[in-house]
Amino acid sequence: MPSASAMRVVRNVPAAVRRVSANQTAVRSISSRSSIHTSQSASSGRSAFRNSWQSRAVVPVGSRGFSATKAVKHEHVKPPAPGKEIYITFVDKDGMEHKIATAAGDNLLSVAQTHDIEMEGACEGSCACSTCHIIIESEEMYEKLPEASDDENDMLDLAFGLTETSRLGCQCEVKEELNGMRVRLPNATRNMQASNFTSK
């Protein structure tokens, strides 16, 4: 017959088993909750990152510091003051003469365009093309103009029908000594941006 001590050990075994089982269940429950929390945290983190990225990616263009460069327009000239007129005659490709009263300080490209004389000026007077090429008819008047800059000479090398008295209209400023000057427009211009030759 088992002793009393052995009987107590046998009776206590189920209780010990139940405690171990309960502890294992508790551990699984805690582990499950931890896994769910970790998954939710990761999901929340991904969602927050996605929302943050989207908020940075979708930015209205108007809210950025971008601005379009304003187009440069040809500056049209004002009529000269009475008694201060300086007369320049433009001869177009058809041989028609246009005698224009100009003011000191204006350039010949602006004067021509103000009076609807066909002078292209593709680079807007920035001395970056040869489309405002003109020919000064009088060598004496040509000598009264300031010497052409290196930039102007570089562009004149591209001009169609270059002569010894060729200049760019945008670089020729009207002054009193030029009163009575005659300027001839060539039959064609060379616009490197559009085509080799542009008939005027």
The pLDDT value given to residue 95 = 94
The pLDDT value given to residue 64 = 36
The pLDDT value given to residue 158 = 93
Rounded distance between C-alpha atoms, residue 181 and residue 200, angstroms: 22
Pick the CATH number of 93-179 from 3.10.20.30, 3.40.50.360, 3.40.50.300, 2.60.40.10: 3.10.20.30
3-state secondary structure 133-153: EEEECCHHHHHHCCCCCHHHH
Domain ranges of the chain: 93-179
For residue 74 the two structure tokens come to 């040809």
For residue 197 the two structure tokens come to 């030759």
Fill in the DSSP letter of residue 130.
S
The pLDDT value given to residue 159 = 93
- Walk along the chain (200 residues) in steps of 10 and give the mean pLDDT of each run: 49 49 52 49 48 42 36 64 96 95 96 93 91 97 97 95 97 97 90 52
In one-letter notation, the amino acid at residue 127 is: C
